Amino acid sequence: MQAHDDFPLHNNGDVPPNPYAKGLLKPFYKGKGGILRLRDELMAESDAMNQEAVDFEHQYNPWLYSIGIAIKRHGDQGRRTHYLRWRDKGLKKMGDALFEATMLEGGLSEPMRQRLFDIEQKRLLFNARAGMVNQTLRNLRNALKQLEQSEQLLIREY
């Protein structure tokens, strides 16, 4: 028999979620308090990631400027966590094409190409994390709004 605090079982043969998914979904089984706590933790993570983006720029841009490109923070509207975008040295162009062109030009030695590749891998992983944080925060804001609307309907007098 399932205890009140356990996770509800799925309809797919009554198999509980795998441990990784279970950990990701746990706040939603805890109710509004779990969602609020997750939101607060993700906002703190977002702040830390924004500082990480600043540190990323400071660490890699001196070398990147020497080969004609840079990485800059980019905050899309409505996104709390910044993304890292490729920019030209003059900061007039932006996009992955700048990285591709630099990788394909013949003037870089193999160790320099490897270093540039390593930076790109770190940038891509950072942006994936930023996207996950931003999207989850958006989902949490929507869930909290809907929970509050339902609470208002419950306490509404007729």
Identify the pLDDT of residue 30: 82
> Which of 126, 117, 129 has its CA nearest to residue 53?
126
* Beta carbons of 35 and 43 less than 8 angstroms apart: no
Identify the pLDDT of residue 11: 46
Identify the pLDDT of residue 43: 94
Identify the pLDDT of residue 135: 93
Report the C-alpha gap between 154 and 156 in whole angstroms. Answer: 6
pLDDT along the chain (158 residues), means of 10: 48 60 78 92 95 96 94 80 91 86 89 96 97 94 93 82
Identify the pLDDT of residue 16: 63
> Which of 139, 133, 116 has its CA nearest to residue 75?
133
Identify the pLDDT of residue 90: 76
Whose structure tokens read 């356990």?
6
* Beta carbons of 74 and 83 less than 8 angstroms apart: yes
